[in-house]
Amino acid sequence: MGTGALGLLVSARNASLGHPPPYAARHIARQVLSRLFRRRMSRREASRWAFALRAGYGPLLGMGWGLVRMRTSKWPLLGSGVLLGLGVLAFERMAFPLFKATALASTWSRAEHVWLFAQTAVFGVVTEATMRQLVKEEPATP
């Protein structure tokens, strides 16, 4: 669900920026997979791979969060969801340069940084809200 919400946000993000940011899934797919396959990937191929990357990445993040969220499940939704979003943001800020997936973050505009924070926060809050609906906490036994 978090990945789906993020997909809806992408149109607003791109319209606001006037272009897809350097961390758009299509750009990341093109950068990383062109190196992996040792050939320049077309925009169409990159778009298809971007969908596949999102379809795998979002659920993996959700599963990882499911393993650690027991400590925050009693927190208010916004706090717990934003914490997940900040974790995703920190992971991406480390992974992008490691995998040479994007241009250096120092070259991004202020708006691109703000949108990355916003989209990871939306992902976190929607993912946590979904987990709260799917996972019913059992009362503590005395």
Q: How many Å apart are CA 127 and CA 122, to the nearest integer? A: 8
Q: What is the pLDDT of residues 113-124, one digit of tens each?
A: 999 999 999 999
Q: Is the CB of residue 83 less than 8 Å from the CB of residue 117? A: no
Q: Is 136 helix (H, G, I), strand (E, B) or coil?
A: coil
Output 17 or 136, whichever has higher pLDDT.
17
Give the domain ranges of the chain. Answer: 2-134
Q: Which two tokens stand for residue 118?
A: 């916003």
Look at residue 142 in the predicted model and tell me its pLDDT: 58
Look at residue 94 in the predicted model and tell me its pLDDT: 95
Q: Which two tokens stand for residue 92?
A: 């991406």
Would you say residue 95 has pLDDT above 90? yes
Look at residue 8 in the predicted model and tell me its pLDDT: 87
Q: Which two tokens stand for residue 139?
A: 């009362």
pTM given for the model? 0.84
Identity of the amino acid at 29: A
Output 89 or 71, whichever has higher pLDDT.
89
